[in-house]
Amino acid sequence: MSSRDLILARVRAAVADAPEAAEVSRDYLTSHTADDPAAVLDLLHENLADYRALVHRTRPAGLPALIARLLAQRGATQVLAPMGLPAPWLARAAATRIDDRETSTAQELDAVDSVVTGCAVAIAETGTIVLDGGADQGRRRITLVPDHHICVVRAPDQVVASVPQALPRLDPARPLTWISGPSATSDIELDRVEGVHGPRTLEVVLLEG
C-alpha cells in the first residue's frame, strides 16, 4: 500500500466512531471598528506607527515630492520599482529607477537602497499592509532584500477595518505578503530589535483623496 493510502486508511479508521462535527458557528465580529472611513484611516495610522512603521499622509499632488524627500533623507541613489508603479510617483526622485526584473539576482537586489510599491489592501485594526504581486507591487523579493521600503496605500479604497474584511478582497491564487511593521525579532531576552532580515525601515504613505 502506498503511504498515501496508508495514511488515508488510518485517518478513516481513527474517526470511524467519532460523532459528526458541529457546523462552525461564526459567532464573532467582522469588524471591531466603527464604519467610518476617517476613523478607520486614523486607526491604521496609529497601529502602523505602534509597530514602528514611519507613517506619512499626503494628497496626490504632494506624493512625488514626498517620495523624493523620503528617498533623499535616506541617501538613496538607486530605487527599485515594480513595472506598474505609476510614473508620477517617482517623477521628482533624484535616485535612479531600477526596474523589477525576473533576471536580476538576489545580490543585485541587495545592492539597491530603497524600494517603492503600492499595496493590495491595508488592515487598520492590525496595522497591516498586504501585497499581492500586482503590477504596482512586483515580485515578493523586491520588498524583502532592500533595507528601506516605501509603501503607498490609497485611502479609502484600499483600507479595510479588519482581517475578516481583508480576506475576501485577496486572491489566494496569488502569493501574498502581509507586512505589519518592519522586520523584527524578540529572540534575545524578548527585547524587540528591528531589521533582522527584512527591511529595517518601513515607511507607509497614506494617500488620501
Partner 1 sequence: MSGTYLGMPSFPEAAGKAVRDETLRGNLRHATHTIRDKRAKAVSELVDWPGLREAGKQIKDRTLRHLDDYLVQLEKSVTAAGGTVHWAADADEANRIVAELVKATGEREVVKVKSMATQEIGLNEALEAEGITAYETDLAELIVQLGEDRPSHILVPAIHRNRGEIREIFARTMSEWGRPAPEGLTDAPAELAEAARLHLREKFLRAKVGISGANFMVAETGTLVVVESEGNGRMCLTLPETLISVVGIEKTVPTWQDLEVFLQTLPRSSTAERMNPYTSTWTGTTEADGPKNFHLVLLDNGRTATLADEVGRQALRCIRCSACLNVCPVYERAGGHAYGSVYPGPIGAILSPQLRGMESEIDASLPYASSLCGACYDVCPVAIDIPEVLVHLRERAAGRGGRGHRLEKAAMKAAGWVLNHPAVLAAGEKVASKTRGLHPKRLPGASAWTDSRDLPELPPEPFRDWWKKNRT
Q: Please list every residue from 93 through 152 that binds partner 1, using CB under 8 A.
A: 102, 106-107, 110, 123, 125-128, 133, 139-141, 144
Nearer to partner 1, 108 or 157 (CB): 108
Cβ 104 to partner 1 shortest distance, Å: 12
64 CB-side CA count, 13 A: 10
Closest CA to 163 of 39, 37, 30: 30
- For position 169 contacting partner 1 by CB under 8 A, the verdict is no
Cβ 13 to partner 1 shortest distance, Å: 7
Confirm if 76 and 114 have CB atoms less than 8 A apart.
Answer: yes
Cβ 206 to partner 1 shortest distance, Å: 18
Cβ 171 to partner 1 shortest distance, Å: 9
Residues 10-49 that bind partner 1 (CB under 8 A): 10-15, 17-18, 20-29, 32, 47
- Asked if omega into 156 is within 30° of 0 (cis), the reply is yes
| Side chain identity at residue 55, one-letter code | V
Nearer to partner 1, 37 or 164 (CB): 164
Residues in contact with 19: Cβ distance below 8 Å, sequence separation at least 6, in sequence order:
none
Count of residues near partner 1 by CB under 8 A: 71
C-alpha dihedral sign at 194, 198, 201, 203:
negative
CA distances from 6 to 11, 18, 43, 60, 192 (A): 9, 19, 51, 60, 45
Cβ 61 to partner 1 shortest distance, Å: 32
Nearer to partner 1, 66 or 100 (CB): 100
Indicate left, alpha or beta for 157 from its phi (over 0: left) and psi (-120 to 50: alpha): alpha
The DSSP code for 63 is H
Nearer to partner 1, 36 or 187 (CB): 187
For 190, the 3-state DSSP assignment is coil
Residues 43-62 that bind partner 1 (CB under 8 A): 47, 51
- For position 6 contacting partner 1 by CB under 8 A, the verdict is yes
Cβ 73 to partner 1 shortest distance, Å: 21
Nearer to partner 1, 66 or 85 (CB): 85
